[in-house]
Amino acid sequence: MTKKKIILLGATGSVGVQALDVIAAHPEQFELVGFAFGKNIEKAREIIQAFSPKIVVAAQESSQVTLAKAFPDVELHVGNEGLITLARTEGYDILLNAIVGSVGLPPTIEAVQLGRDIALANKETLVVAGYTIMAEAARTGSKILPVDSEHAAIFQVLQGVAKSDVRSLTITASGGSFRDKTHEELVDVTLEDALAHPNWTMGAKITLDSATMVNKGLEVIEAHHLFGIPYDDIHVVLHRESVVHSMVTLKDGAVLAQLGATDMREPIQYALSYPRHLTMHHETPFDLTEIGALHFEKMDLVRFPMLDLAYRVGKLGGGYPAVYNAANEIANQAFQDGKITFLEIEQLITRAVFEHMEFDGQTLHQILASDERTRQKVSQWVEDLTQEKKIALTEVRK
Ligand SMILES: NC(=O)c1ccc[n+]([C@@H]2O[C@H](COP(=O)([O-])OP(=O)(O)OC[C@H]3O[C@@H](n4cnc5c(N)ncnc54)[C@H](OP(=O)(O)O)[C@@H]3O)[C@@H](O)[C@H]2O)c1
């Protein structure tokens, strides 16, 4: 049997490490031929020792130099150029993009243009350039296989279903760490509070995005691109148990859902093994009689304004989703760095979206320029806020 050769972007992260588990559990099916990582050189070292990949990309030059000395047989590259080189490498079957943020976009576009299959965890990529990626994938025959659990659920449910028979999609949302707080109660929440997700263990950025509900907003836009369904037919419901991963309503009223444990290895493995469902080794127990009851509530778009805004930017199209995403990436990091408050995240995103103006259909080039301008603007606003707070503190101390 020929093994599926895998390139993994973001191998040292939450999705990346779980993908390595899946690859290691099926040595007869999968082989890691290359990977990229950010700063975690110790983890990268372990991965090279365990999987003997041919090519590795580090975000920083110092890591590249260190690893080149330790592993002279491995082809090493660095930075964004290195990610493109990795995407262009010959002899792989699927690129699993588990990098966080829109830095994952250029290698995805490169791989799609070469007709390579993509297992996509990096939702930011589709939010920024969904139309381009899906159009290129249709042109080259590249398959875009979703890894996000909600989209993987919809994708599984849609196997064998004609798109013209679909009435609507329903994405489930756990509600994140602050689902039981009112908007007013968010004034002084901390990073530690925000990172305590009730159901999933994930990287810091997506966990914080779940608390602001930006994550669900990004997922709505991602679903629009992946499945070609209009925004008005994509619904979000609050589902505390995260057992139903998402649902599809067909034109005859039948509702098809995919259920399972909160274990990201399931959607990762399916994206890699598609169209097969392989045995899941060390499966997370899943027993509906233990869970007992499932609850579904309407989403309150006033309580969760970032979800409301995501629908608006999605419908506006052009550079708006990229602006929403770029503002969020900067604001999310600024909150993690202790520079702004939790509620300032949504204030900065809202301001960036409302200040953005465009008059024509946007090319990818224009969208990326809007993305870059937004990053600069929002970074400046973060600095201004930091200065204002320092001045206010000095006044108080006087
Ligand atoms: N975690 C989940 O359960 C989950 C579920 C659904 C979707 N997703 C999506 O999957 C993506 C990854 O999420 P995550 O939670 O796995 O994030 P994470 O734990 O923060 O991992 C991010 C990965 O990206 C790498 N990275 C960051 N900047 C890089 C750069 N410039 N060049 C190369 N690698 C870089 C990091 O490397 P270092 O750690 O070495 O710095 C790390 O390997 C996100 O788009 C997220 O929305 C995640």
Ligand 1 atom closest to the CA of 209, numbered from 1 = 47
Find all residues with CB under 8 Å of 172, minimum gap 6, and list them. 150, 236, 237, 238, 239, 242, 244, 245, 246, 247, 296
The one-letter amino acid at 189: V
> Which residue is listed with tokens 């050769």?
5
Q: Which of 7, 8, 9, 14 to mutate to test the pocket of ligand 1 (most atoms within 8 A of CB)?
A: 14
Ligand 1 atom closest to the CA of 44, numbered from 1 = 40
Ligand 1 atom closest to the CA of 13, numbered from 1 = 21
36 CA to middle of ligand 1, Å?
11
Q: For every one of its 398 residues, what pLDDT tens digit does the chain have, with 9 covering 90 and above? A: 789 999 999 999 999 999 999 999 999 999 999 999 999 999 999 999 999 999 999 999 999 999 999 999 999 999 999 999 999 999 999 999 999 998 999 999 999 999 999 999 999 999 999 999 999 999 999 999 999 999 999 999 999 999 999 999 999 999 999 999 999 999 999 999 999 988 888 999 999 999 999 999 999 999 999 999 999 999 999 999 999 999 999 999 999 999 999 999 999 999 999 999 999 998 999 999 999 999 999 999 999 999 999 999 999 999 999 999 999 999 999 999 999 999 999 999 999 999 998 876 689 999 999 999 999 999 999 999 999 888 887 877 77
Q: What is the pLDDT of residue 362?
A: 84
- Residues forming the annotated binding site? 12-15, 38-40, 122-124, 148-150, 174, 197, 203, 210, 215-216, 219
For ligand 1, atom 42: residue with the closest CA = 13
Ligand 1 atom closest to the CA of 59, numbered from 1 = 32
> Which residue is listed with tokens 């993305």?
371
Ligand 1 atom closest to the CA of 215, numbered from 1 = 47
Q: What is the pLDDT of residue 389?
A: 84
Strand intervals (E) in the chain: 4-9, 30-37, 55-58, 75-78, 94-97, 117-120, 144-146, 166-173, 234-238, 244-250, 255-259, 297-298
Q: What is the pLDDT of residue 398?
A: 72
C-beta of residue 220 within 8 angstroms of C-beta of residue 246:
no
Rounded-to-integer distance, Cα 34 and Cα 32, Å? 6
105 CA to middle of ligand 1, Å?
13
Buried b (16+ CB within 10 A) or exposed e, 111-145: bbbeebbbbbbbbbbbbbbbbbbbebbeeeebebb
339, HSE (Cβ side, Cα atoms, 13 Å): 18
DSSP letter at 165? G
362 CA to middle of ligand 1, Å?
28
Q: Go through the domains of the chain in sequence order and give each one's CATH number.
A: 4-146 (3.40.50.720), 148-308 (no CATH), 317-398 (1.10.1740.10)
Ligand 1 pocket, Cβ-based, cut-off 6 angstroms: 10-16, 36-40, 59, 98-100, 103, 121-124, 148, 200, 202-203, 205-206, 264
As a residue count, the chain comes to 398
C-beta of residue 91 within 8 angstroms of C-beta of residue 5:
yes
Rounded-to-integer distance, Cα 32 and Cα 357, Å? 44
Rounded-to-integer distance, Cα 154 and Cα 242, Å? 14
369-377: long-range contacts, CB 8 A cutoff, minimum separation 24 = 370/319, 370/322, 370/323, 370/326, 371/102, 371/128, 371/319, 371/322, 371/323, 371/325, 371/326, 372/326, 374/322, 374/323, 374/326, 374/327, 374/330, 375/326, 375/329, 375/330, 377/352
